Amino acid sequence: MADFFPISVWYGEDKVRAPMLARPTEESNKIAQRDLENIKRLGFNSVKYWVDWLAVEPEHGVWNLDFIDTLMNLAEENELKVIIQLYLDSAPNWIASLYPDSRFQAQNNDVIDSQASPGFCLDHPDVRREATFFMQKVAEKVKIHPNFYGWDVWSEPHILSWTWLDWLPSGVGWFCYCQHSQERFRQWLKKRYDSISNLNRAWYRAYRDWEEVLPPRYVTLSTWRDLVDWQLFTIDKLAEDLKWRAQTVKKIDTKHVVTSHAAISSVFIPPLNWYGNPDDWEMAKQVEVWGTSLYPKHIGWNNPLDSAQRGISLDATRSSCKEQGIDYWLGELQCGDGVTGIHFGEPVTPQDVQMWAWSAIAREAKGLNYYAWYPMSCGYETSGFGMINLDGSITDRAKAAGEVGKIVMENMDLFLNTKSPKAEIGIVYNIYSYIMLTCSREHSNDIVASSMTGIYRTLMQENIPVDFIHINDFTKENVNNYKLIFMPFSIMMTSEIADGVKEYVQQGGKLVAEIRPAWSDEKGKSSEVIPGFGLDEVFGCKERWIRERKKTKLLVESTQDILPSLSGKMEISGSLYEETFMQLKDTAKILANFEDGSPAMIINSYSKGKAILVGSLISRTYEKDRIEENGKFFKSLFKWAGVEPPMYIKGGKNAEGRILEGSGFKLLFGFNHGDNADLTFHFRVPKEEYKVLDIPSQTEVKCSYENELIIPLELKSQEVCVLKIIWD
């Protein structure tokens, strides 16, 4: 990744989609030659080929690999680098004949036959061995080509992929319960509990030996420790399987980069959703580049995504990779209209394509892989997601994406050698909260996702950089680098994590939490006092009572002496809960009350730091309803923590500025998400002789200095500017 920024488009010879059967003909090769010439001419520097198991080994031990040479050579003729996307999900059906017990099994014991997907369970040792042969055969074939760039060894990892089991009873969707997956789970439990007696105590069981142990299939009244373990096992299993895929390829090919990408950032999805979903922070440990897909105008949840909803996915993925010291990229980036069955998304425009690409690059993405060249010609996404038309005609969207590619190619060193500014604010991603929601039979992930997005939106409006912090990282010292940390809906955590939270505040950090922090431990056991694990000392209060409320009001009195960044009275809106508190320390002050007069928000001084506990989901309410007072309150907290935006924008609503920093220069990305506007970008930087260059046109942009650097720009609606700021 150090010397190349891939701008690729997914491509399969002829008008096909993955999974595909690769049988090139003279005619299809002519089409591929034409397509690759167009891809190069438009401005792309690479292509992403999909190679699936079914195409490569249609019969056991019979290898069909020549098509790979054909595609690699065609790309080389057009000076395009190649990324190979490996698919194990589209597995050959001879697997089922040789290994009848290799099919996936749902929690209700239904057996899933593969219909081009989802393939077969890789917990079966023979299937795993066969899959190893497949990946290594492809690696031997590909690695010798001079234009080969790297691998994506797993597209959108799940336990079960590319399958919609609508016929299963409601609530059934956990995998896999075959005998091999059950045995793998038992081995995981042995490491965790050491003895069957320890497991029995934890799970409230009376197993006589390990062979009797069964994974949970539903929620019970007595305990949910078993279901917590099943979810933690799912996370570990996905990470271990990604490591296996990466190491399998690396045994043959040690030179080329190995990557993988999620379907969506894990900050939005619980572990058991979508038939098993990974944790980005764990997956990023297994590869050299981790990434995500981004489909802002897909069909379904919360689409189309606005600028903040897109941004959180990108910044969360970046944060998961930053923790491991690796780069991130977009494994899939939408460039065509969303289609699922007979449902259709909003049309994708050329402005969308450029906006999405620069939004990712501005958030430090080091690669863009557009999905896909042709629209899907068959299957559940028929006619969707194409960069060009099925008849081969080039669209304005393709030209727009290619223009981004040309700019990146001409300025690759700039984009490769820049980083996001150091963030002083963090938002906690608590995987345990998602785990507890599943155990609580809560099917919606909205509580956690909307709370994080509401906070993120207020930061984005102020152009303040932010990182996402995995809850487990409170056990590390690096959280002390943040002046302010938001911890929304962190209802489950470990004692070690709680100790890290205490340490962060003790060392001078400022913490803001909502609703029942550390209510439960990772064993599913409720704390005797809430907040739990001694966090009542940090917040200076404990819960008196909690009740559900669709909407509620938090009345903030004059707080100038308590929270100097606020003045006068405010009425903040909350949702879902009213949790009221009992003060435990003289250092704890009431910031707000509910309408009945009970304490709704407490601020406490704890050693060198301060902590605020809010008894309702005011962040979620801001995301849902955009209550102005809620936004003002959050923005006052940034000032309270001493965080100043590196820049601000005048002249238009819904404008966004992002900065990347290099050696002796900065890159400014300006986004106009609103109407046409004359904007001025103001930077709080020392006085120097500044020069501003528009990167796409290579022309100089006027600027001035009056206690700050001022750059005036006229940006049309949905327009993006990319500027280089240099100084002597």
Exposure of 551 in the CB half-sphere (CA atoms within 13 A): 8
Architecture of domain 7-177+215-415: Alpha-Beta Barrel (3.20)
The pLDDT of residue 377 is 86
* Percent residues over pLDDT 90 in the chain: 85
Residue 135: which residues within 8 A CB-CB, separation 6 or more?
Answer: 86, 88, 153, 245, 248, 249
CA distance 349 to 523: 49
The pLDDT of residue 170 is 62
User: What's the whole-number mean pLDDT along residues 47-65?
Assistant: 94
The pLDDT of residue 163 is 87
Confirm or reject CATH 2.60.40.1180 for domain 647-727, answering yes or no.
yes
User: What's the whole-number mean pLDDT along residues 714-726?
Assistant: 96
The pLDDT of residue 566 is 76
The answer to whether the 425-640 and 647-727 domains have the same CATH topology is no
3-state secondary structure of 592: strand
Residue 59: which residues within 8 A CB-CB, separation 6 or more?
Answer: 92, 94
- Which pair of structure tokens corresponds to residue 16? 């096909």
Residue 444: which residues within 8 A CB-CB, separation 6 or more?
Answer: 437
Confirm or reject CATH 3.40.50.880 for domain 425-640, answering yes or no.
yes
- For the stretch 264-299, pLDDT in tens is 999 999 998 889 999 999 999 999 999 999 999 998
Per-residue confidence at 19, pLDDT binned at 50, 70, 90?
very low
Residue 677: which residues within 8 A CB-CB, separation 6 or more?
Answer: 651, 652, 653, 655, 714, 715
- Model's pTM, two decimal places? 0.96
Buried-exposed string 514-531: b where 16+ CB fall within 10 A, e elsewhere:
bbbbbbbbbebeebeebb
Least confident of 53-57, 378-382, 712-716: 378-382
Query: Looking at the predicted structure, is the pLDDT value of residue 675 above 70?
Result: yes
Query: Looking at the predicted structure, is the pLDDT value of residue 548 above 90?
Result: yes
The pLDDT of residue 11 is 93
What single letter denotes the amino acid at residue 603? I
* Helical (H) or strand (E) element with 646: none
Closest CA to 575 of 558, 539, 596, 600: 600
User: What's the whole-number mean pLDDT along residues 531-547?
Assistant: 97
Query: Looking at the predicted structure, is the pLDDT value of residue 18 above 60?
Result: no
Query: Looking at the predicted structure, is the pLDDT value of residue 641 above 50?
Result: yes
User: What's the whole-number mean pLDDT along residues 15-42?
Assistant: 80
Per-residue confidence at 172, pLDDT binned at 50, 70, 90?
low
What residue segments make up the domains of the chain, in order of their start? 7-177+215-415, 425-640, 647-727
Look over the chain and give the mean of its residue pLDDT values, rounded to a whole number: 94
Query: Looking at the predicted structure, is the pLDDT value of residue 104 above 60?
Result: yes
3-state secondary structure of 668: strand
Strand partners, 512: 486, 612
* Percent residues over pLDDT 70 in the chain: 97
HEC secondary structure over 48-86: EEEEEHHHHCCECCECCCHHHHHHHHHHHHCCCEEEEEE
Q: What share of the chain is helix, strand, coil (3-state, %, to 5)?
A: 35, 25, 40
The pLDDT of residue 535 is 98
Per-residue confidence at 203, pLDDT binned at 50, 70, 90?
very high
- For the stretch 419-440, pLDDT in tens is 999 999 999 999 999 999 999 9
* CA distances (Å), origin 363, targets 10, 329, 418: 22, 10, 10
* Helical (H) or strand (E) element with 439: helix 431-439
User: What's the whole-number mean pLDDT along residues 537-555?
Assistant: 96
Query: Looking at the predicted structure, is the pLDDT value of residue 14 above 70?
Result: no
Residue 344: which residues within 8 A CB-CB, separation 6 or more?
Answer: 299, 337, 338
Q: Is the separation of the CB atoms in 5 and 416 below 8 Å?
A: yes
CA distance 638 to 458: 10
Query: Looking at the predicted structure, is the pLDDT value of residue 171 above 90?
Result: no
CA distance 721 to 671: 7
Handedness of CA 182, 187, 192, 196 (dihedral sign): positive
User: What's the whole-number mean pLDDT along residues 541-552?
Assistant: 96
The pLDDT of residue 162 is 86
Q: State yes or no: cis peptide before 541, omega within 30 of 0.
A: no
Q: Is the separation of the CB atoms in 375 and 383 below 8 Å?
A: yes
User: What's the whole-number mean pLDDT along residues 468-478?
Assistant: 91
The pLDDT of residue 222 is 84
